[in-house]
Structure 1
Amino acid sequence: MFDVLVYLYENYWRPDACPEHAQLSRKLTSVGFESDEIEDALSWLDGLTTVAESQAKAQSPLSLRVYTPAEQDHLGTASIAFLSFLESAGVLPAPMREIAVDRAMATTGELALEDLKIIVLMVFWSIGEEPDALILDELFVDVEDRLIH
């Protein structure tokens, strides 16, 4: 599913630039994605659209996010720390964090930090906002691949 999401991010500048599901599904199949992977990604994207549209825009900047035990188990320490890092850096406002947590919880299986980074990227994509270059670097480049200057 995450490979499909990355493909969509790289090929469509916004969700509304994507063709309808049937046409998009055919295109993704022709590119080489499996049908179950496509279905999972499109269903996940529908959920992203629903959550993004319903998410309250006004949350107090003084609010504190407490993760439930289920969220802690599914997200893991590294992912929660990464979300906290993005929020404290001022690049992931609370409403966007909540969308990211919701979409992360909508995934099945173990959620790796790399998968959470794709989810955060898709949250930015869903609202038509591109993160700044440093955040894109954090979301895309593996730590082992970075050049130290």
Structure 2
Amino acid sequence: MFDVLVFVYEHYWRGEEPPELEQLGRRLSAHGFEADEIQQALAWLDGLTVAAQGSSPDTPGTPPAHEQSSDSMRVYSVAEQDHLGAQCLGFISFLDSAGVMPPGMREIVIDRAMAAPGDPVAIDDLKIIVLMVYWSMGCEPDALVLDELCDDGEGRLAH
């Protein structure tokens, strides 16, 4: 599924709207992706679209999504802890504390990570999820965040 998501991101991230899911599925099939991988990715993308639209402040008659006061704290359920694992939870906490992932975006990342395969979700897969959430919300991460999301961490020396 993540290979499909990376393909979609690489081909449509520059503001170009991806085609409707049915047409996108045909394009992905033409590029050689397996049918079950395509279906899983399309269902995941559909959930991302719904989540991103639900967090939009432009939705009339709905309160702002995921309001959070400055002194609140996110508590993860046991299911979230098990599915995300310590490494992904630490990365989410890092992005949150760095101020580059607002609470509403964090909740969408968690929602989409919970819908992703893997137990626990791999950190590289979580980074793809974060990129997809930024993209779905029409945001581009700043250069330092993008570097962190695209860096595999190999070759780094701890000081």
Same fold (TM over 0.5): yes
Cα shift at 1:144:
1.1
Q: Which residue matches 2:148?
A: 138
* Structure 2 residue matching 1:90: 3-state secondary structure: coil
Runs of at least 4 residues off by over 3 Å:
none
* Percent of aligned pairs with the same amino acid: 62
1:10-29 equivalent positions in 2, closer than 5 A:
10-13=10-13, 17-29=17-29
Partner of 2:97: 88
**AA of the residue aligned to 2:80:** E
Unaligned 5+ segments in structure 1 are none
Q: Name the residue aligned to 2:8.
A: 8
Pairwise CA distance, 1:143 = 0.9
Distance 1:49 1:93 in 2: 18
After superposing the two structures, state which structure 1 stretch, 87-96 or 7-16, moved more. Answer: 7-16
The DSSP-based 3-state class of the residue aligned with 1:17 is: coil
Answer whether contact 2:48 2:112 (CA < 8 A) is retained.
yes
Tell me how many residue pairs correspond in the alignment: 148
Calculate the TM-score normalised by the size of structure 2: 0.86
Pairwise CA RMSD:
1.9
- Alpha-carbon distance in 1 for matches of 2:11, 2:31: 12
Report which structure shows greater RCO (CA 8 Å, sep ≥6). 1
2: distance between equivalents of 1:73 and 1:67? 10
Q: After superposition, what is the alpha-carbon deviation per residue over 1:109-138, rounded to whole angstroms, capped at 9, x for unaligned?
A: 321011111111110010111101111111
Give the structure with the larger helix fraction.
Answer: 1
Larger mean CA deviation between 11-20 and 136-145 belongs to 11-20
